[in-house]
Amino acid sequence: MSSPQPSADESAIAELRREYRFGTLSASDVQDDPLLQFRHWFAEAERARVLDYSAMALATSLAGVPSARIVLLKGLDEDGFRWFTDGRSEKGLALADNPQAELLFHWRELDRQVRVRGVVTRLSEKESDAYFYSRPLDSQLAAATSEQSQPVESREVLEQRYRALTDSYPEQAPRPQAWGGYCLKPVQYEFWQGREGRLHDRLQYRLTDSRWIIERLQP
């Protein structure tokens, strides 16, 4: 029996490409502090109206098995990058076992991406409460309804649970004990700027003896 021939769309995947022409990246152009450099690029992504510019891929590892998913950045300062999720989720369990993780921001419209690697810690109950109760009621109810990443019999079961909580908590839903905030403290950043011909610019910041060392990486 002969092997099936790839469809036109499948065979075209290898030919997909475009040139990156937005800009360049030089060590003379960046801040000495990677947090300041990140803030600068983040602000440019906002001004460029990049869709979901606060979205970041969170990569974790549990028992040597990597996993990644998109979460939303909800805070940023000298202590690190913050987001919120259910600790019973796959990412929550992975971080409890191995707190080392990496974040990836991809801003296609600017031909840019930023990787941020570090160690993750849980935020306090006070911080988790403050953010949870700043959310719209429907978001509170959704978090209270779901045991994130756990199997469920059907969509109807979730919706019934959601309606029951809506009836019980018409103004404010209870924050699940497992739901809360996380903070990644960076030890390494990489700023990537796409360039024509795939000779991309990559600048890495490494924290060494409490100092940030900047070096150019080959593309």
Residues 38 and 59 in one domain: yes
Same domain, yes or no: 112 and 145: no
Q: Tell me the per-residue pLDDT of 43-56, one tens digit each, with 9 for 90 and over.
A: 999 999 999 999 99
Number of domains in the chain: 2
How do residues 18-32 score in pLDDT, each as one tens digit? 777 778 999 999 999
107 closest CA partner among 166, 22, 173, 188: 22
**Residue 180 amino acid letter:** G
Give the pLDDT confidence score for residue 22 in this predicted structure.
Answer: 79
Q: What is the CATH number for 52? A: 2.30.110.10
Q: How confident is the model at residue 69 (pLDDT cuts 50, 70, 90)?
A: very high
According to DSSP, residue 217 is labeled -
What DSSP state is assigned to residue 159? H
Domain range holding 160? Answer: 134-174
d(CA 50, CA 71): 16
| Same-domain status, 54 and 147 | no
Give me the residue label for tokens 């600790």: 87
Q: Are residues 152 and 111 in the same domain?
A: no
Q: Which amino acid does the sequence have at 14?
A: A
pLDDT at 5 over 70: no
Same domain, 89 and 36: yes
Respond yes or no: is residue 21 known to be catalytic: no
C-beta of residue 193 within 8 angstroms of C-beta of residue 112? yes
CB-CB contact of 132 with 124 (8 Å): no
- pLDDT attached to residue 20: 79
The answer to the question of residue 59 being in a domain is yes
pTM recorded for the entire structure: 0.89
Are residues 57 and 160 part of one domain?
no
Residues 152 and 196 grouped into a single domain: no
Query: Given 21, 163, 198, 216, which residue is catalytic?
Result: 198
- Give the percent of the chain with pLDDT over 70: 96
State pLDDT tens for residues 150-171.
888 999 999 999 999 999 999 9
Domain assignment present for residue 40? The answer is: yes
Low-confidence winner among 10-19, 29-38, 65-74 (lowest mean pLDDT):
10-19
